[in-house]
């Protein structure tokens, strides 16, 4: 999800807001190594630059911060899944939730009262 200026929203904040709206999402990194790097245009050379220092990230979020700081690319993804019991109402509720971000800057979205 990108704000009007092209900056990605903080997926952990979106995940938290979705949860408060009763929508289950998952943010971060998923179990297909390399897929997130491809989706976010993070090359092998980009990754090499991230991990040459003495400090080794010890959590997913810390590793994502290292990558973002070194490359300017945010390797975060937000996922919502549908299952057998999902229906049109579930999709409609999620789409209505996403509309809250239309034409809203990252700063405004993060400062907004909880939904």
Reported as a single tens digit per residue, the pLDDT across 72-92 is 887 778 888 888 999 999 999
**What is the tally of structural domains in the chain?**
2
- State if pTM tops 0.85: no
Kindly state whether residues 24 and 38 are assigned to the same domain: no
Kindly state whether residues 10 and 46 are assigned to the same domain: no
Residue 58 belongs to what domain range?
31-75
Contact 78, 15 (CB under 8 A): yes
Kindly state whether residues 82 and 114 are assigned to the same domain: yes
Kindly state whether residues 97 and 84 are assigned to the same domain: yes
Instruction: Give the pLDDT score at 18.
Output: 92
Report the SS3 class of residue 12.
Answer: helix
**Rounded to 5 degrees, what are φ and ψ at 79?**
-130, 140
Residues of the chain with pLDDT under 70: 30-31, 113-115
């Amino acid at each position: 999800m990108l704000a009007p200026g092209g900056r990605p929203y903080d997926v952990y904040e979106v995940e938290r807001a979705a949860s408060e709206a009763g929508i289950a999402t998952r943010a971060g990194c998923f179990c297909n190594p390399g897929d997130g790097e491809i989706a976010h245009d993070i090359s092998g050379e980009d990754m090499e630059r991230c991990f040459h220092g003495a400090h080794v990230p010890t959590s997913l979020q810390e590793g994502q911060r290292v990558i973002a700081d070194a490359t300017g690319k945010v390797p975060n993804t937000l996922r919502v899944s549908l299952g057998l019991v999902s229906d049109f109402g579930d999709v409609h509720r999620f789409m209505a939730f996403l509309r809250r971000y239309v034409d809203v800057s990252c700063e405004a979205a993060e400062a907004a009262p909880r939904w």
